Structure 1
Amino acid sequence: MKKSSFKLPLTRLLTVMLFGLLALGACKSKKKVVEAAPEPVPVEEPAPAPKPEPAKPSAEEVAVGKLEDYFNAVANATNLQSANNTIREALGMFSNQNTPVLIVIHEEAGVKDYDEPTTIEKYLHYLKDTQKNLNFISDIRMDGSGRVAELELRRR
């Protein structure tokens, strides 16, 4: 007579474990299939917002840039003729040749102390004579026609 192989405890245990592994393996693969089954729902993306245009510089900012260039050109001019030509061009940006130029020498708690007031014409000739531009524009006021009406400078 033949002995049944299921009667041995070790064989029985191995057989049960084999079926258990197969069952678990089958469940995992079904789970993967079930997880992969849902189709992704197409999501409509909102239209991209238009890129903001670069901020255009104000008239004051443009004037400050041009005036700084003129001041440096007058101070660094190689001869009197080129300095005088640059002065003539720069004066065209002002409401008149007597436009006040105020140079701040000290400021404390919002109170400003100014050097002796001068005019733009005198200041440009001062730059030509000293050949040094030691100040920068800290405030500018424009008139209604887009010309400079007052200029405030500070030491660098």
Structure 2
Amino acid sequence: MMTVPVVIDFEASGFGKGSYPIEVGFSCRHGDGWCTLIRPEDDWQHWDCDAAQIHNIRRETLIERGKTPQMVAESLNTYLGGQTVYTDGWTQDYVWMARLYDAAGLTPRFRLADFREIISPPQEKIWHATRIQVQEELNITRHRASNDARILQMTWLRSYDATRLVH
């Protein structure tokens, strides 16, 4: 029997070169979530207005309320140490996680893995429809990292249960 995966999500200043993490959140095995804003380092200047319209976080808010990369990296290591943590955007999230940990001068004590490692072909077939259903049921209106992580986790769980019952 598969255990419920821990899911992490990053929001960022934009995409591509120069982008950096602005928020990280995760959903634990029992659905408990954690989320925090990340204060940009002085040399983190890239800001994409299109990305900002999606996450709806102002750079000024990050400067005022965000935690330092070191505080965020230490918290992630405390909460997630020794675990495999899944993301649906591994290539981007890995770069943003690396940028966070580089700024903090730390190393992640958890493994960041691609969600595709644990999604079976039958789950993949119903993934999109299941995700829409989960989003509607949870009625989450804010596009934030911990919300996205919870939606992904619930989609995995629901699609896993649905495909397991068929076989």
Q: Is this a same-fold pair by TM over 0.5?
A: no
- Structure with greater contact order relative to length (CA < 8 Å, sep ≥ 6): 2
Question: What is the TM-score of this pair, normalised by structure 1?
Answer: 0.21
Question: More helix by proportion, 1 or 2?
Answer: 2
